[in-house]
């Protein structure tokens, strides 16, 4: 069971994931154009992508590094974001390869990603409401 600051981080993550998830579902074309813009910037674009992951992941890892029970899900998400950031900062060409998948005819993939983020956000809200 997580308490104190960990619960605050769960709320932070729920808000973050809800906004980003809804945006992915409602504005997939804008996300495609955003990532195409990042890709066009080369290594600088990889760095911007890395900063987005680093901020979210570092906050989670710093204040919610819980390795037991269902709380581990958020911890793993935080560490995954740190790894993604590290790849973008330390090997930007590798980070750019992930952006090569982005295309306007694949904008529907943002619907899927957004739905996953909303499920995780809903699960976090459930945990908070239940006092888990």
**In the predicted structure, residue 64 carries a pLDDT above the cut 80:** yes
- Count how many Cα atoms sit within 13 Å of the Cα of residue 42 in the half-sphere of its side chain: 0
Phi, psi of 101 (to 5 degrees): -75, -20
Of 6, 88, 28, the residue nearest 14 (C-alpha):
6
- pLDDT tier for residue 49 given thresholds of 50, 70 and 90: very high
Model-wide pTM > 0.75: yes
**In the predicted structure, residue 43 carries a pLDDT above the cut 80:** yes
- Count how many Cα atoms sit within 13 Å of the Cα of residue 35 in the half-sphere of its side chain: 22
Encoding tokens for residue 116?
């996953």
* Residues contacting 28, CB < 8 A, separation 6+: 107, 108, 109, 110, 111, 114
pLDDT in tens, 72-131: 999 999 999 999 999 999 999 999 999 999 999 999 999 999 999 999 999 999 999 998
pLDDT in tens, 1-35: 457 999 999 999 999 999 999 999 999 999 999 99
C-alpha Rg value of the chain to the nearest Å = 15
Question: Using CA atoms, how far apart are residues 82 and 55, in angstroms rounded to an integer?
Answer: 9
How confident is the model at residue 88, as a pLDDT? Answer: 98
């Amino acid at each position: 069971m997580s308490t104190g600051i960990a619960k605050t981080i769960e709320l932070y993550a729920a808000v973050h994931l809800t906004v980003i998830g809804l945006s992915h579902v409602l504005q997939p074309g804008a996300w495609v154009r955003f990532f195409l813009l990042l890709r066009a910037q080369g290594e600088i674009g990889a760095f911007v992508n890395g900063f987005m992951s680093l901020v979210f992941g570092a906050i989670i890892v710093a204040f919610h590094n819980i390795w037991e029970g269902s709380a581990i899900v958020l911890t793993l998400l935080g560490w995954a974001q740190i790894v993604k950031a590290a790849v973008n900062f330390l090997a930007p060409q590798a980070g750019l390869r992930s952006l090569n998948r982005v295309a306007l005819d694949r904008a529907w993939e943002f619907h899927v990603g957004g739905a996953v983020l909303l499920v995780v956000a809903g699960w976090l809200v459930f945990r908070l409401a239940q006092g888990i």
